[in-house]
Chains A and B, each alone.
Chain A
Amino acid sequence: MVLEKSGYELTLDVLGKSDVNALVGVVDQALQEPDEKFRRRTAEFLAKIPDAGVTRLLLRRFHDIGTTAQGALVASPDTLLEAASQLSAVDDTHVRANVVEALAALGDARAVPLMLKYVDDPAAPVRDRARALLHTVSRRQQGAPTAAGTKARTYVRTALNLVLRGREITDEGLTTIVSLGDEGFQLLVPFLSEKGADGADKIIDFLTRAPGIDVVRCLFYLAAVRPEHPRRVARDILKSRPEGAFLLDVARVVAEKGVTALGPLAATLRHLHWQVLTREDLAQLEVEAQRAVLELVRGSIGSTSERVERLVPLLASPSSDIRAETLQSLAELPTKRIFAHVVPLLADPVDVIALKATALIDVHEHFEAFGLLLKQLGHRCEHVREEAAKKLSGRTFFLLSRKWEGLGPEHKRRAARALMRIDPQFRRQLEAEVDSGDGIRVLRALGMIRQVEDLAPFAAMLANLTLFPDPFVRATGARLVGRLSGREAVRTCELLLGDQDPRVLANSIESLSAAGGPSAAPLLRVFLEHWHPRVRATAIVELWRLGFTDVAGSLREMLGHKDKRARASGRWAVEKLRALIGTPASAQADRGTAGEHAEEETHG
């Protein structure tokens, strides 16, 4: 036979199927009933419901709910501790007293930090109860507490003893205390507040050498407490520990709290020895912590060189943002001594950083800077190239002249082309050099012009070189004219063909061939009869290049000439033609050509 439920049992049955968490206000009415049995019956029912809101409700009425419900609550210590923690801020004295009661009933060492919140409670009953229960818990866990000292410190000693698991302050115990967080830290304050207090030296010694982020958190806590002595002790310890691992933990704690929330402690942290951090140390540090270090070092107190030293490790940060911001900070310092630290970042894989580093290179202070900037002119990023060119602008020719001989061909090419494009003064300075009349300077300028892609701006200047007294300069100019195009180039070549110097003539023949094409052939043929073999050989090669293979006879004649210089020039022409025709295999396929005959003659 099934008995139907009725009365209050039926009400509880319906309640159990409802959203009890949302109904705690209604259910609380039942727990306030004057009838004790009724209250207990309701509480027993509620204690079976696994809900945080219901647990808090029962905890608030812990004293009134009866032993069965109390037992059910204590059987779930984690839930109870969480609910107690949430209720610790409640204003109601009755609730606080109930929470203390519940924590005492729990008898768990984890309840001690929570219970410590109530030992200074404004309500005397709560305070007294908390202290008494703390002693009870302590005795239960530890035996008789050490009750020496003032009454006000007794509870602290008791709790400390409880946590330390012993009668003395040991490293192990202090490690446990600092791992408790703020509740543990506050235990240390009374000891440190009185100079010469029992155990103060041991605590200071522990905080001075113990590793771990909890110690750092403890020092941060102590450095902000009201009593002056612990505050000073904590700040001194923070400033006196130069270990990299300690600083990494400091950075992490600063990142947790936020630099702006540090208040007066920020000034202390700026004194730390951030310069001891190595690249490997920083690699272990989270980006946020690195940013915290950067913020602290930025505003750090000390000489400029000290601040540079503190910033430099951050240049090796794996985070490109940190590297960029560090570079920016270095740039803002009034010092020129950052060159050596910035140089490695010129080749940074992140273009923005390479750009910032390039911007920091001072070409006037360091001779090496110029070479580095020239190298940056060949950087893959256009902005970096522009920045390098901007730094070089105005002094480019002067600086390039000083470094020119030491540069490789590729760098010469890149530098000259970039400067021509970016620095308008560069061309004017080159022209001025050519106009100087000094052979060495002119030749160096021509060497730079040779690297430039488009020689059109220099056409008039090259034409003027036909009258230069030094034949070597004229010859160099004649070679460059070949890279010009149009009638002006042909005209300049024609002028140069009136030169007496064979080198000038040879180069002019090559240039005319390039600029004039087949129409220049009649003029070139004149030089097949020139007295100088080099000129003849050059004419043969250029005519061949233009498609006039009938010059084979002239070549054969040269190769069989009685003058050894003529034969040497003939062989040179053969080599040039061989290169012109292509590989030896293709040359063989092209039998009957002048090249083949010439080769035979050479061997003969």
Chain B
Amino acid sequence: MTLSEFYSKLGGNCAEVLKRIPSEQMLKKFVKMYQKDPSFSQLEEAVAQKDWQTAFRAAHTLKGVAQNLGLADLQRTASELTEALRGAKPLTQPELLDAVRISQKQIVDAMKELDA
């Protein structure tokens, strides 16, 4: 899968991102770096422990990372979750977290098919 196909699969636009980050090589490097990013697991962990302050921060970070990488689906779902958790509010709409999980899974799956 090319980088462009990767992005369209995840609701993003590769060409748009390349306006901000001019080298495709570098963008690919950043995208691959995402696999090491702990924000998603931190989010899951914090929600499980009902630590809403940390959950908010993790969702917020995840949103920022998605925004930087142009991962549009994740950016949208993470953003909605961030707003729901803002002020360390307990999560009352579990479907918001499920949406983030789906975005995350799609990214992880697509990453496997991405050209080296």
* A and B interact: no
